[in-house]
Structure 1
Amino acid sequence: MSRVAARPRRRDRRVHGSVRERLYAGGFMAPAVLIVGILLIVPFLVTVHRSFYSDNVQSRFSGLGNYRLLFTDPVLIRSVENTLLWVTGTLVLPIALGLAIAVMTDAARWTRIVRLAVVIPYAISGSAVAVVWNFVLARNGALNALLTSLHLGSLAHGWLLNWPGNTLVIIVASTWQSTGVAVILFLVGLQTIPPETIEAASLDGADGWLRFRHIVLPQLRPVMIVVVGISLVNGLKAFDLIWVLTQGGPGRSTETLAASMYQETFGLQRLGAGSAIAVVLTIIVLGASWTYLRRQLQPEGA
Structure 2
Amino acid sequence: MSSSLDQRRPPLTAPQATPGPAGPASGRRLPRRLRERVAGAGFLAPAVLLVGTLLLAPFAATVHRSFFDDRRVSGFAGLDNYALFLNDPVLTRSVQNTLMWVVGTVALPLVLGLAIAVLTDGARWSRVARLIVVLPYALSGSAVAVVWNFVLNTDGAANQVLKAFGMDSLAQGWLLEWPGNTLVMIVANTWQSAGVAVILFLVGLQTIPPETIEAASLDGAAGWRKFWYVVLPQLRTVSVVVVGTSLVNGLKSFDLIWVLTQGGPGRQSETLAVSMYQETFLALHPGAGAAVAVILTAIVLFASWLYLRRQLTPKGD
TM-score normalised per structure 1: 0.93
1:266 and 2:300 aligned: no
SS of match in other structure, 1:220? helix
Deviation, 1:59, is 1.8
- Extract unaligned runs of 5+ from structure 1: 1-8
Deviation, 1:23, is 3.2
Deviation, 1:18, is 4.1
1:228 and 2:247 aligned: no
Assess, with a 3 A threshold, how the Cα gap between structure 1 residues 14 and 30 changes in structure 2: closer, same or farther: closer
Given candidates 282, 305, 308, the residue that maps to 1:293 is 308
Offset from partner CA, 1:20-55 (integer Å, 9 cap, x none): 443333333222222211111111111101100111
- Residues 209-224 of structure 1 aligned to structure 2 (within 5 Å): 209-224=224-239
Given candidates 80, 90, 94, the residue that maps to 1:65 is 80
Deviation, 1:63, is 0.7
TM-score normalised per structure 2: 0.89
1:173 and 2:178 aligned: no
Deviation, 1:117, is 0.4
AA paired with 1:161? L
1:188 and 2:219 aligned: no
AA paired with 1:150? F
AA paired with 1:65? D
1:147 and 2:157 aligned: no
AA paired with 1:211? K
In structure 2, distance between residues paired with 1:68 and 1:280: 12
Q: In the alignment, which residue of structure 2 is the partner of 1:108?
A: 123
- Identical-pair percentage: 68
Q: In the alignment, which residue of structure 1 is the partner of 2:17?
A: none
Deviation, 1:58, is 3.2
AA paired with 1:54? D
Offset from partner CA, 1:172-200 (integer Å, 9 cap, x none): 00010011001000001111111111111
- Residues 6-45 of structure 1 aligned to structure 2 (within 5 Å): 12-13=28-29, 15=31, 17-45=32-60
1:157 and 2:161 aligned: no
Deviation, 1:14, is 5.6
SS of match in other structure, 2:247? helix
Structure 1, 266-275 or 146-155: larger mean CA deviation: 146-155
Offset from partner CA, 1:104-129 (integer Å, 9 cap, x none): 11121212211110011111111110
Offset from partner CA, 1:183-224 (integer Å, 9 cap, x none): 000001111111111111111111111000000000000101
AA paired with 2:178? W
1:252 and 2:267 aligned: yes
SS of match in other structure, 2:315? coil
- Extract unaligned runs of 5+ from structure 2: 1-24
AA paired with 1:272? G
Would you identify which runs of 4 or more consecutive aligned residues in structure 1 move more than 4 Å?
A: none
How many equivalent residue pairs?
292
- Alpha-carbon RMSD across the aligned residues, in angstroms, is 1.6
Q: In the alignment, which residue of structure 1 is the partner of 2:67?
A: 52
1:98 and 2:102 aligned: no
- Residues 111-130 of structure 1 aligned to structure 2 (within 5 Å): 111-130=126-145
Q: Which structure has the larger Rg over C-alpha atoms? A: 2
SS of match in other structure, 2:284? coil
AA paired with 2:278? Q
SS of match in other structure, 2:222? coil
More helix by share: 1
In structure 2, distance between residues paired with 1:62 and 1:121: 45
